Amino acid sequence: MVRSDSVTVPFVWPEHIVLHFDTDGELPLEVDPTALAHLAERLNADRDLRLLITGHTDASGTAAHNEQLALARAQGLRDLLLKYGAPESSISINSQGSRTPIADNSTPEGRAANRRVAVELH
């Protein structure tokens, strides 16, 4: 629940979100602690919900490095959610390394867009 001008309204988590990272960074650039707490609460309230966290990188670095970095990004977000009380059994992680870019890796903007973790709620 979220309070807005003395009215409590249900918190609605989007079914798909994306968090972005600095080059070689394992921690997201911006994370809303309130949103993480609400997501953990929602996962606890409905044990049928499943969260898939997929890590991605830009094309900098070797394939092996990118695979590990993408996995570390997904694990980092999972660990944050666990600290907020999310049930571990509801969270799956995956690494795509640099295999699934959403933007052109030849530009700084494109590489920045590709350094991400995608979060899907099912």
**Ordered per-residue pLDDT tens for the chain, 122 residues:** 434 444 544 545 566 678 888 998 887 888 888 888 989 999 999 999 999 999 999 999 999 999 999 999 999 999 999 999 999 999 999 999 999 999 999 999 999 999 999 999 88
Non-local (6+) Cβ contacts of 77 within 8 A are 19, 28, 31, 53, 117, 119
Structural domain count of the chain: 1
CA distance 82 to 23: 25
**Owning domain of residue 71:** 14-121
Q: Would residue 1 count as lying in a domain?
A: no
Q: Would residue 107 count as lying in a domain?
A: yes
Non-local (6+) Cβ contacts of 15 within 8 A are 120, 121, 122
Q: Would residue 19 count as lying in a domain?
A: yes
* pTM as predicted: 0.83
Q: Would residue 43 count as lying in a domain?
A: yes
CATH code for the domain of 25: 3.30.1330.60
Q: Would residue 6 count as lying in a domain?
A: no
CA dihedral 10, 94, 26, 62 (to 10 degrees): -150
